[in-house]
């Protein structure tokens, strides 16, 4: 308990293989530093003595392999020490992956054996998938590898904003406060936060992403040997399960890590047993994983979008630009109004082509939407093209036919082709 008027700093001594689980207060940031020993946050070592500042509501754990004393400054929603964690089993997986990376590196000229491990992390929502992915990537980066992180979770988005699937090389252990650097991710815009709305489009984009990575790996022995870690969404039933199998197949996954679900694990073992070279490994879920309600997820999505434009610590200022309607060309993928049955030949069923490109007229419905800027040169390339970034529509002037938008940087957009989804953002 903190005495009124008293110091808000306190020390916590952690024994070896223990972790301090923290939920930062929703009102104020928390400062933390290491006084002695060594400790890490989700696979990234905490630098000695420097104060780190964690934003409000962040949930994280400080784990130590050999013991450490840490100091906290500020209030937390909760914090407690746990001596039971699955960290040993996680680091054992890392050791196996390291062995495979080294073997891959030793035979750079053989197109098959030069491929390092391709790991996919699956499990229900809030089983710690993103956290485990992060640890495996940071541990690998610490050893000097540059593994590729692939995020297939359109619901949250740990590489870029939600509604996307994306990949990026991880060259350094992931920063405990800032997260993944947004330098040059390879991003495909799906446009919704649930893959169920257009599962076919989702599959098409997963395939595009996989093919692009395959081409990059073909010319880069270093990243091929480092392999990839693929994070997935928590939807593991029905179509969600099918999408997992589709991802395993499309990325030629060699290691499937199943977090906290017996049933999913045995189902995957069963269907994958005919595939030599694919290991399915069950891992325990950490007791520290915090469940998030739909509302909390929604807030997290909004703050990811905010971060894209304003920076993780509100340190960037997006540019406001005005363009004529004519300078932009907007499309929606799939959906759109279908042809009425009466307009079709007798007996024909109205077919909704999930990857049909539908031109979108500019009107005030677009206000507050987040649009993706495609790298496409022609409309028919939009689906197969990755996106350069995002803009946020702040004003639509129907009279003067002008759109005002925010973009992270000034200057002309790299293309006039914009993809419209359902992602919106209201400034407050």
How far from the centroid of its chain's Cα atoms is residue 211's Cα?
19
- The continuous run of DSSP H or E covering 408 comes out as none
Contacts to ligand ADP from residues 227-246, by CB under 6 A: 234
Among 24, 46, 61, 159, binds ligand ADP (CB under 6 A): 61
Query: Binding of ligand ADP at residue 54 (CB under 6 A)?
Result: no
Smallest gap from residue 349 Cβ to ligand ADP (A): 38
Among 64, 131, 160, 374, binds ligand ADP (CB under 6 A): 131
Smallest gap from residue 250 Cβ to ligand ADP (A): 20
Q: For residues 389 and 182, what is the distance between their CA atoms, to the nearest angstrom?
A: 11
Q: Binding marks (x or -) toward ligand ADP, 282..311, rule CB under 6 A?
A: ----x-xxx---------------------
Tokens of 20: 């301090």
Residue (42 or 217) nearer to ligand ADP, CB: 42
Among 117, 128, 173, 227, binds ligand ADP (CB under 6 A): 128
Smallest gap from residue 60 Cβ to ligand ADP (A): 5
Smallest gap from residue 96 Cβ to ligand ADP (A): 21
Tracing tokens 């199943």 back to the chain, one arrives at 258
Query: Binding of ligand ADP at residue 126 (CB under 6 A)?
Result: yes
Question: Per-residue DSSP letters for 246-315?
Answer: HHHHHTT-SEEEEES-HHHHHHHHHHHTTSTT-EEEEEPPPTTPPP--HHHHHHHHHHHHHHHHH-TTS-
Tokens of 393: 């529509």
Task: Tell me the residue nearest to ligand ADP as measured from the CB.
Answer: 288
Collapse the DSSP code of 94 into the 3-class scheme (helix H, G, I; strand E, B; otherwise coil) and give the result.
Answer: helix
Smallest gap from residue 163 Cβ to ligand ADP (A): 16
Residue (231 or 415) nearer to ligand ADP, CB: 231
Sheet containing strand 118-122, edge to edge, reads 186-189, 164-169, 148-151, 228-231, 118-122, 255-259, 279-283
Contacts to ligand ADP from residues 176-235, by CB under 6 A: 234
Let me know if 398 is exposed, middle or buried by CB neighbors in 10 A (0-12, 13-18, 19+).
exposed
Tracing tokens 């997963």 back to the chain, one arrives at 206
Distances (CA, A) of 395 to 237, 252, 426: 40, 45, 12
Query: Binding of ligand ADP at residue 21 (CB under 6 A)?
Result: yes
Q: Binding marks (x or -) toward ligand ADP, 361..400, rule CB under 6 A?
A: ----------------------------------------
Residue (132 or 248) nearer to ligand ADP, CB: 132
Point out which residues bind ligand ADP (CB under 6 A).
19, 21, 59-61, 123, 125-131, 234, 286, 288-290
């Amino acid at each position: 308990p903190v005495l009124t008027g008293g110091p808000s700093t306190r020390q916590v001594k952690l024994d070896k293989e223990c972790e301090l689980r923290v939920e930062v207060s929703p009102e104020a940031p928390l400062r933390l530093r290491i006084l002695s020993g060594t400790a890490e946050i989700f696979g990234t070592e905490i630098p000695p003595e420097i104060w780190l500042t964690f934003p409000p509501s962040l949930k994280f754990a400080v784990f130590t392999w050999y013991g450490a004393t840490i100091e906290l400054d500020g209030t937390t929603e909760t914090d407690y020490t746990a001596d039971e964690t699955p960290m040993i089993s996680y680091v054992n997986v890392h050791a196996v992956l390291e062995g495979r990376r080294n073997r891959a590196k030793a035979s750079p000229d053989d197109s098959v054996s030069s491929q390092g491990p391709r790991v996919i992390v699956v499990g229900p929502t809030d089983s710690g998938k993103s956290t485990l992915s992060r640890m495996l990537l940071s541990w690998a980066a610490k050893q000097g590898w540059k593994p590729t992180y692939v995020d297939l979770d359109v619901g949250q988005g740990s590489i870029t904003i939600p509604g996307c699937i994306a990949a990026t090389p991880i060259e350094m252990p992931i920063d405990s406060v800032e997260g993944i650097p947004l330098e040059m991710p390879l991003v495909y815009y799906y446009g919704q936060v649930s893959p169920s709305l257009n599962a076919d489009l989702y599959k098409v984009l997963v395939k595009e992403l996989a093919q692009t990575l395959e081409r990059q790996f073909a010319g880069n022995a270093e990243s091929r040997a480092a392999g990839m870690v693929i994070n997935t969404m928590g939807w593991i039933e029905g179509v969600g399960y099918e999408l997992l199998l589709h991802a395993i197949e499309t990325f030629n996954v060699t290691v499937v890590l199943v977090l906290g679900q017996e049933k999913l694990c045995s189902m995957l073992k069963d269907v994958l047993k005919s595939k030599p070279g694919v290991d399915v490994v069950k891992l325990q879920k950490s007791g520290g994983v915090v469940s998030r309600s739909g509302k909390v997820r929604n807030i997290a999505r909004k703050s990811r979008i905010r971060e894209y434009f304003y920076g993780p610590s509100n340190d960037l200022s997006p540019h406001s630009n005005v363009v004529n309607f004519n300078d932009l060309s907007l499309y929606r993928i799939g959906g759109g109004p279908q042809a009425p049955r009466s307009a079709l030949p007798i007996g024909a069923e109205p077919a909704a082509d999930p990857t049909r490109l539908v031109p979108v007229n500019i009107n005030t419905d677009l206000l507050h939407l987040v649009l993706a800027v495609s790298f496409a040169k022609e409309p028919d390339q939009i689906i197969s093209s990755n996106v350069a970034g995002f803009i946020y529509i702040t004003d639509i002037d129907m009279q003067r036919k002008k759109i005002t938008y925010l973009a992270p940087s000034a200057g002309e957009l790299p293309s006039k082709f914009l993809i419209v989804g359902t992602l919106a953002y209201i400034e407050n």
